[in-house]
Chain A
Amino acid sequence: MDVPIQQVIRPATIAEATALLATRPDARPIAGGTDLMVQLRDGRKHISCLVDLDGLGMAEIRRVDEGVEIGASTRMHSIAAASEIRSNFPALAAAAGTIGAWPIQCRATLGGNLVNASPAADTAPALLIAGAVLTAVSTAGTRPLPVAGFFVGPGRTVLMPGELLVSVFLPLAQVPPGCRLVERFVKAGPRREQVIAVVSLAGRAVVRADGTFEEVRLALGSVAPTPVRARRAEAALMGRRPNQETRRGAVQALQHDIAPIDDVRAPASYRRIAAAVLLDRFLLEAARV
């Protein structure tokens, strides 16, 4: 059955797209459509005019000064397979590779995952620990948006009407001499494949030669109205070695970083336990690698 829209426009340039979005308040962008098409079909979103971003390009992964820039229309499969991402941002590569299954990953885009702003968005925790900066373009100009402040609530971001997310910049991790980097993305759900996260966790640890943490960054999905950094748990780990006592302290601190709710996928109490388990596993791995 057709989805209930009145018009679809396929601009050829970003300028055309932003001009359309500026003048047509009823218009919304569509990229991969893997979330939006379902929302339209179910009547959860009502949009009369879709602006198809497919012709704009915006699907490149480029090495730039001190980082990597990913076009907002880059498909999850491309991100999961790109050597530039796998080697520098393994949590993002892993997250992209767990979104839906292969046919979804061949269609779903990074920009779509962010703009859809699900608390369970898999790429969000990976971008949070990387300190990613998004770029939004409108007829008024270009705006850098740190991912840390991008999500406002379920389905809501700081993007303003008429603004289009065009790219995501990830700065390379700074690893001091003698330290090693451990980065992981892990996800808990009822099965291995095609899972919307019950809890997801991205972790990045810079581990000194003596096993203590030079730096730890943790971010979680599905445990709060938005994907969140776990600052208290991070603070409980800084400068320490992930022995049993430290891990216990971090897991306790983590409970104050998160505010899970009961929903169809899991009760809040289970999410708290699962978040603790994912963190403990990450720390054990950081200690071992």
Chain B
Amino acid sequence: MSERVVVTLTLNGGRRTFEVAPGRRLLDLIREDAGLTGTKEGCAAGECGACVVLLDGAPVTSCLVLAASADGHDVVTVEGLQQSGSLHPFQEALVAQGGVQCGFCTPGLAVTGAAALAYGPGTADERARLLAGNLCRCTGYVKVLEALESASGEKADRAST
């Protein structure tokens, strides 16, 4: 039996400590140990983006991060995107634009999209590239990208007023 690892991290704003196996993935810590099942497991190889969370503000595929490596770091999952009880502006836009169909990719898309908005509005091509690591087999991406565009437009509007 391998030794256990103590992982203390900030999870959606709260400081949490977990004792996990050395080979625990951040994804499993989030879903099984913390019980936050919004983050999904798709390919488990870093290709589909269903498990994307923010690690120190940067989007990462949590299936490829050791839970031990997240010790001392800040993690935000889809559950942590809402601010004071309301959805993140990109989540609002996904709903408004019809950017959600089966929904499996949506949490990962929401997290990457939120990070993309924080990173900067950019051009349509730049926005599409930032979301390229989140595979969606339903929407064809058009409405997802429209949602990101409208959310980034609103962000730019707010910044200019």
Contact = CB atoms under 8 A, between A and B. Distances in A.
Most buried by A among B55, B58, B60, B63: B60
B58 A77 contact: yes
Contact of B132 (A37, A38, A194): A194
B61 A5 contact: no
Interface string B86-113: 0000000000000000000000000010
A223 B38 CA distance: 42
A177 interface: no
Interface string A66-104: 000000000101000000000000000000000011111
A3 B25 contact: yes
A7 B131 CA distance: 34
A184 to B, nearest CB: 18
A106 B58 contact: yes
A52 interface: yes
A5 B74 CA distance: 24
Interface in B60-89: 60-61, 63-66, 68-69, 71
A197 to B, nearest CB: 16
B73 to A, nearest CB: 9
A146 to B, nearest CB: 30
Nearest to B68: A8
A93 B132 CA distance: 18
B69 A54 contact: yes
B45 interface: yes
Nearest to B62: A103
A211 interface: no
A189 interface: no
Given A41-B45, A100-B46, A106 B60 contact: yes
Interface in B122-161: 129-134
B45 A33 contact: no
Contacts of B58: 75, 77, 106-107
A121 B65 CA distance: 20
A107 B28 contact: no
Interface string A1-37: 1111111101000000000000000000010111001
Given A103-B61, A107-B60, A2 B69 contact: no
B68 A10 contact: yes
Given A3-B23, A193-B132, A194-B132, A107 B44 contact: no
A38 B46 CA distance: 8
Contacts of A104: 46, 61, 64, 133
Contacts of B61: 34, 103-104, 107
Interface residues of A, number: 32
A189 to B, nearest CB: 13
Contacts of B59: 102-103, 106
Interface string A35-62: 0011011000000001010100000000
A32 B65 CA distance: 7
B5 interface: yes
B30 to A, nearest CB: 14
A104 B59 CA distance: 8
Nearest to B59: A103
Most buried by B among A1, A8, A54, A103: A103
A34 B129 contact: no
A103 B3 contact: no
Given A40-B23, A101-B133, A103-B46, 12 more contacts: A3-B23, A7-B3, A7-B22, A8-B22, A37-B46, A38-B46, A75-B58, A102-B116, A103-B49, A103-B59, A104-B61, A107-B60
Q: Which 5 A-B pairs have the closest CB atoms?
A: A101-B133, A193-B132, A2-B23, A106-B58, A3-B23
Interface of A: 1-8, 10, 30, 32-34, 37-38, 40-41, 50, 52, 54, 75, 77, 100-104, 106-107, 192-194
18 contacts: A1-B44, A2-B23, A2-B25, A4-B23, A7-B22, A8-B23, A8-B66, A33-B64, A37-B65, A38-B46, A50-B22, A102-B131, A103-B60, A103-B133, A107-B55, A107-B60, A107-B65, A193-B129
